[in-house]
Amino acid sequence: MKSYTALAGLPAPQVFHTNEGHAGFLGLERVSDLIGNGLTFAEALTAVRAGTVFTTHTPVPAGIDRFEAPLVARYFSTGLLPGVEVKDVLALGAEPAGMNGATGGAADTFNMAVMGLRLAQRANGVSKLHGDVSRRMFGALWPGFDADDVPITSITNGVHAPTWTDPQLAELAESFLGTADTTLADWAAGRDGRGGVSDAELWALRGRLRAQLVLDARKRTSAAWAEENPGVGDPSWFGSLLDPEILTIGFARRVPTYKRLTLMLHDPERLRALLTHPTRPVQIVIAGKSHPADDEGKKLIQQLIEFSQGVDVRERIHFLPDYDIGMAQLLYPGTDIWLNNPLRPLEACGTSGMKAALNGSLNLSILDGWWNEYYDEENGWAIPSADSAGDASERDALEAASLYDLIEHQIAPRFYDRGADGVPARWVASIRHTLATLSPELSAGRMVREYVERLYLPAAASDRAISAKSYQPARELAAWKAKVVAAWPNVHVTHVESGGVDASPQVGEQLQVRAFVQLGSLSPDDVAVELVHGRARDGDQLVDVQTLTLELDSVDAAGLANYAGTVPLDRSGSFGYTVRVVPTHPLLASEAELGLIALA
């Protein structure tokens, strides 16, 4: 993905936004262009980084492009990027020693995500949990820093509400609103000035959406049969395929193994009992595609289809072929429950459940991706993750059992518990809550606003600052970085003194800290000396961390600097601290940016 974002009043391009994939090389094209205008590689890279945002999209190995380094070298040795040497290209994509997680830190491997992170001054994951996973996954790029200090933030994905909100829902809302100033969330919550839509009307709408899905599924199934069996009429049971009155669960997405399409099949008899329950039956509509090269994904689809062809369940569980956007626009609104059961934490965000929620569907999901931050016990159900299970089989068994239990003992009873008017009031209350609380949060509008405010505007400001006066700030910053990197081996915290508290510190006392730092050839303006403190857990680990910048008292001719500061002890419990030294410069976006740190 390549996008140059022109912000109000600013000339384009100001922001270069890229992700994993070959688009990352477009940043190198910009470097090459600047070299052609007189900058060195280091200066050009510094300039390009300032206006570049990188979004990492997955912690799954198959989702990150990795190539053999000699292959990359062969292509770039042809003069593809004038002024850029092959060794500089390879250095950008080299996996650092000690890199953990999905990518492994293999030698002679060119990692596109690693290159993206090195080409961008700002980076993000696509949900809060994914940001946390990414900080740990790529932490080796910033050695010595705690995971929380790794400069990868997160902006949770959103979806385009006009595309994914069913027209029937939009029309019903519009008929009640009467003004463009009232949102769908206000309408669902009864804040539209007219008391909102009634439970009966909202439930009737949900019934129409479910019937719409059933009709579409029957038509598609009939069309697929006619294509495969020309001149042969539909089997008689096609007319009763799915039922518009039955609790409907949807599952549709790509089918890599980590999304566990067949977790629902873990106990076939338990699933069969849920599908054929005499008074609280369940039906499941499934769609999806696997990557052409993903043989394991294809096997999962085949297993599901084989189960769904059983005579006793074929009307209650159905796989729709040729999954596309037209099918999805009826599938999401037509389901009462949207199911998602990936291996936590491998789901970066997962937007299918968002699209369902925009239509009042409730979610049933592992606490992964977006659901991990938005589940509130009223907008659906959370499948407990069995992270501590001994192996994958045990984990699947435990999580499948939880899935069955939730459907049997909580979801189905709530759906079928009807009042005298035939409306499940408790279920409709959850629909209202879902529409009222999630509609604004899951929208692409919220997502884009966050990107603009938190990443694009700061990146645009950095781009303007670094490119001023024919890129003179870029030249100066590149020279400063080179100086700091060369001098850093001689930067040390020589010792730390503390006082001001009793042997058994009490809340209200003040801890006085003095740190002595050898700066070598650097000046105090080149560094920040910080006291990092928090609750002490598990030995040296600190949680609830806070940072205090220590003030310079003095520095002698040999570069030994004296820093001091005071920390009030404002809470009870264990307490720990350390002192660290990091480079600082007005044009850096993060004190971790250079990956340099000296610890006491």
Q: Is the pLDDT of residue 554 over 80?
A: yes
Helix (H, G, I), strand (E, B) or coil at 376: coil
* Average pLDDT over every residue of 400-419: 98
Mean pLDDT across 19-41? 85
Locus of tokens 């692409």 = 444
- What pLDDT score does 290 carry? 81
544 band by pLDDT with thresholds 50, 70 and 90: confident
Same fold: 169-441 with 491-599: no
Answer whether residue 360 shows pLDDT above 70. yes
Residue 552 dihedral angles phi and psi, to the nearest 5°: -75, 125
- pLDDT above 60 (res 572): yes
Tell me what pLDDT residue 542 has. 81
Is the model's pLDDT at 172 over the cut of 60? yes
The per-residue DSSP string of 149-216 comes to GSS-EE----B-HHHHS-HHHHHHHHHHH-STTS-HHHHHTT-SSS----HHHHHHHHHHHHHHHHHH
Q: Is the pLDDT of residue 585 over 90?
A: yes
Closest CA to 45 of 16, 11, 70, 74: 16
Picking from 69-73, 108-112, 363-367, 535-539, which range would have the lowest pLDDT averaged per residue?
535-539
Q: How far apart are CA 139 and CA 117, in angstroms?
A: 11
Instruction: Render pLDDT for 58-97 as a digit per residue (tens, 0 to 9).
Output: 888 778 888 999 999 999 999 899 999 999 999 999 999 8
What number is the average pLDDT over the span 575-581? 91
Q: What is the torsion angle, in degrees rounded to the nearest 10, for the CA atoms of residue 158, residue 15, residue 481 and residue 564?
A: -50
SS3 category, 426: helix
Predicted pLDDT of residue 7: 42
End-to-end CA distance of the chain: 42
Percent of the chain at pLDDT > 70 equals 92
Pick the CATH number of 169-441 from 3.30.70.260, 3.40.50.2000, 3.30.750.80, 3.40.50.720: 3.40.50.2000
DSSP helix/strand/coil, 49: helix
Contact 559, 548 (CB under 8 A): no
Nearest-angstrom CA–CA distance, 194 and 180 = 14
Starting at the edge strand that comes first in sequence, how are the strands of the sheet with 337-340 ordered? 317-320, 282-289, 247-254, 337-340, 362-366, 380-383
pLDDT for 255 equals 83
Mean pLDDT of the residues in the chain? 90
pLDDT at 111: 92
Domain ranges of the chain: 3-157+447-481, 169-441, 491-599
| pLDDT for the residue 183 | 57
Model confidence pLDDT, tens digit, residues 304-340: 999 999 999 999 999 998 899 999 999 999 999 999 9
Could you tell me if 289 and 254 are in contact, meaning their C-beta atoms sit under 8 angstroms apart?
A: yes
Cis ω for the linkage preceding 13 (within 30 of 0): yes
* Percent of the chain as helix, strand, coil, to the nearest 5: 45, 20, 35
Q: Which CATH class is domain 491-599?
A: mainly beta
pLDDT of residue 472: 97
pLDDT in tens, 175-194: 765 443 445 666 666 655 45
User: What pLDDT digit, counting tens, does each position of 452-504 carry?
Assistant: 999 999 999 999 999 999 999 999 999 999 999 999 999 999 999 988 776 67
The whole-number pLDDT of residue 187 equals: 61
Per-position b or e across 246-271, b if 16+ CB within 10 A of its CB: bbbbbbbbebbbbbbbbbbbbeeebb
Write the pLDDT tens digit of every residue in 113-168: 999 999 999 999 999 999 999 999 999 999 999 999 999 999 999 999 999 999 99
In this prediction, residue 573 has a pLDDT band, given cuts at 50, 70 and 90, of confident
Longest dimension (CA), the chain: 95
Residue 437 neighbours by CB distance under 10 Å? 18
pLDDT digits (tens, 9 = 90+) for 250-284: 999 888 888 899 999 999 999 999 999 999 999 99
Cα 63 to Cα 323: distance, rounded to the nearest angstrom: 21
Is 263 in contact with 349 (CB distance < 8 Å)? Answer: no
Per residue in 212-221, pLDDT (tens digit) is 999 999 999 9
The two structure tokens encoding residue 34: 């600047």
Between 3.40.50.2000, 3.40.50.300, 3.40.50.10800, 2.160.10.10, what CATH number should domain 3-157+447-481 receive? 3.40.50.2000
Tens digits of residue pLDDT in 225-240: 999 999 999 999 999 9
How far apart CA 59 and CA 219 sit, in angstroms, is: 38
Please indicate, yes or no, whether the overall pTM of this predicted structure exceeds 0.85.
yes
